[in-house]
Each structure stands twice: as C-alpha cells, then as structure tokens.
Amino acid sequence: MNKKVALQDLGFKDYKETWDYQETLFKDIVDTKIRNRREDAGLETPNHFLFVEHPHVYTLGKSGDINNLLVDEKKLAEKGATFYKINRGGDITYHGPGQVVGYPILDLDNFFTDIHKYLRFLEEMVILTLAEYGLKGQRSEGETGVWLDVGTPFARKICAMGVRASRWVTMHGFALNINTDLGYFDMMIPCGIKDKAVTSLNVELGQKEVDMEEVKEKLLKHFTALFEAELIKERAGV
C-alpha cells in the first residue's frame, strides 16, 4: 500500500479549471487500478492532496436542490460569482477568497476501504485544527462537516464537506472558512440546511485576519497523523 501523498498548493485558481485537474488525477488512479485488475500489473496507485483558494463560486451536489440558491444569474454576475452543478455528494455550498479548500484524491485501498471512516477522519482533521485555536469543533448528527455549539440555538457551520468516491478513489473534499466574506452565504441555504448560521475562524477569534498558511500546516499535520500518510510536496501542476 502506497501511503505517500503528493501535496500541491494551487494558490488562487478558477473552480472549473481545478475541477478538471481533479478529474485528470482521479482518472489516472482509476485507470491504474483497472489495469492492475485486468493485467495483474502490480502498479502503485498515487495519492494527491490539493490546496486551493477559489474566486467566488457556488456549487451544487448531484442530490442538491437548485432552489437552495436564492439568487438568479444576473445577481450572481453582479457579485462576481459563478455557479456549477457537480458530481459530489451534498447540496449547495460556496467557495471564495479567504477559505481554505482541500481536495484529497486518494486511493483508499492504500489506507482503508470505508467511506464513512474517511469522512469522519476529514472532520477530525478539522476538529483537531480548530482545537489548536481554542475552539471546540463538533459533528452534527446526520450532517457532514464541522460545527460550533451543536445542539444550541447558536449552532453554526465553519467547515463544509462533500466528496465523490468510485472504486475507492476519492475527490472533492472540504472547505474551511478562515477569513471568508460571510455575506456570500446569504445568497443560498448552506448545504440545504435552514435556520443554521455560518461562521469563520477570524470571526470566532475576533481577529481581522488569520494566517491561512498556518492553518494549512496544522491541517496537514493532523491529516498525516490520522491517515498515517507521508506528504511529498510537489510544484502545482495546473
């Protein structure tokens, strides 16, 4: 089993361009697995972890409800935002500046073949990171992602998650609000969940801005520990 994970930080990158790149990496892993099965080729399957920050964009999962987007195309254009229907699970979510987005593209045969455990590990990675800032991140029963003050009238979501998996290969991932303009969440019903607020790390800490590179380092520390992975830093390929 190959537990090496190639890390790329794509910087500030268009959503569709990044999605296409994810698909290329995803297909390469799946094709290698198919070849191994057909030809007994014994080829090692790679793993990837992409960090990226997107321009304003709304994405709707395959089971999502378009009515959870509360504005029309004209309003989106006015706000400098785009919209895509995509092939992950989950409902509608927002990506934008000031948000750390992570896309692990892993062959879970290299780690464990349990998609629920995979999602819980991603949540735990974020929960452990938030704990380093003195915040108690929590899971909310029946809902993916990471929340604060679950079970109270003040419950608010700080990290959204949505993944796709095929042949135990994953793509898409998580979006953690760091210095995010929360006003953009007003144009949708986040993840299709009504009456739940959204927050960000800088708001919770009462800071104007949080160091996003520091947050990434903490996330990766917990990712490697949870997945028993070895990170290999690579230059961005897109």
Give the residue numbers marked as catalytic: 191
102 marked as binding residue: no
At 231, phi and psi to the nearest 5? -85, 135
116 marked as binding residue: no
Contact status, residue 50 vs residue 171, Cβ threshold 8 Å: no
Whole-number Cα distances in Å, 70 to 121, 187, 200, 213: 32, 5, 21, 32
Contact status, residue 130 vs residue 146, Cβ threshold 8 Å: yes
Contact status, residue 210 vs residue 203, Cβ threshold 8 Å: no
11 marked as binding residue: no
Contacts of 53 (CB under 8 A, 6+ apart): 11, 12, 13, 97, 98, 99, 100, 101, 212
Contact status, residue 136 vs residue 184, Cβ threshold 8 Å: no
The Cα 106–Cα 111 span in angstroms is 9
137 marked as binding residue: no
Residue 66 token pair = 């378009």
95 marked as binding residue: yes
89 marked as binding residue: yes
21 marked as binding residue: no
155 marked as binding residue: no
Residue 195 token pair = 């009456």
Question: Residue ranges of the alpha helices (H) in 132-236?
Answer: 201-205, 212-227
174 marked as binding residue: yes
Binding residues, by number, are 88-95, 160-162, 173-175
Binding residues for substrate, by number, are 88-95, 160-162, 173-175
